[in-house]
Amino acid sequence: MHAEQRFKIKHIHQFAKDYLYSWFPKLPSYAAFNTRLNRMSEALKLLSDKLMTTQRPDGCDSGINVLDSMPIITCSGKRHGKVAKEITDKTFCSTKGIWYYGLKLHVLGMFRTGKLPFPETVVITQASENDLNAFKENWADLSNRNFYGDKIYHDTDFFGSMKKRINSAMLTPVKGVKGQPDCIKNFDKAANDLFSKAVSTVRQPIEAFFNWINEKTNIQRASYVRSTNGLLVHVFGKLAAAFIGFIF
């Protein structure tokens, strides 16, 4: 992936056949190779988890976390999704302005000054899963943290309670109050704009991280996947490859 931008398993198999045959003299056919990989989906998930926990680069601040998600697209919303129905569904991606079938990759990143954040944990959900729900299910018990997210993570009551319970806070750009008089909006506008800009500046690197990982692995495009195990291999195999490149 890193050297020659070979993103498809078929192309990776061909590379091994052309250049690494002396290392793998019993290299099976592409069909057998693909079948073996699909049996390794859980191993690749474990590998990516191990890389995140044991090979963290210098400068990671686990007390400051940036959050976001990205779509993993198996097919466009104009078609009927037939792949991995038990873990995928259909939703609208407001960032791209499209309907699609697939997954959503959620990342809890550790802030690094002047560098891309490094993932502390990643979670995959169905495409339609709300980011706030994913946070509540996976990271709501992490104590003594400052989380930086976009407006979808706004929930005053929940995060107010979390602050009192475990001393963790969620900072998001200021969300407008429906029906609020213009005089009050204008009164607070300068302070709200400054606060929103400060939060967005801290969390912007997580968007750059998604752009980087997609550029290096083409992880967002999964239209050639044909099974549930194949989709898991696509996600966690490419995450593992990206983390190895990220670390070294």
Q: What is the pLDDT of residues 100-147, one digit of tens each?
A: 999 999 999 999 998 999 999 999 999 999 999 999 999 999 999 999
In the CATH hierarchy, which top-level class contains the domain 39-247? alpha beta
Confidence of residue 184 (pLDDT cuts 50, 70, 90): low
Distance CA 99, CA 128 (A): 10
Distance CA 37, CA 47 (A): 14
In this predicted model, what pLDDT tens digit does every residue of 199-245 receive, in sequence order? 999 999 999 999 999 998 999 999 989 899 999 999 999 999 888 87
**Which residue ranges make up each domain of the chain?**
39-247
Write the CB contacts of 165 (distance below 8 Å, at least 6 apart in sequence): none
CB atoms within 10 A of CB 51: 19
Mapped onto helix, strand or coil, the DSSP state of residue 80 is coil
Mapped onto helix, strand or coil, the DSSP state of residue 148 is strand
The answer to whether residues 51 and 243 touch, using CB atoms and an 8 Å cutoff, is: yes
Characterise 142 by phi-psi region: left (phi > 0), alpha (psi -120 to 50), beta (else): beta
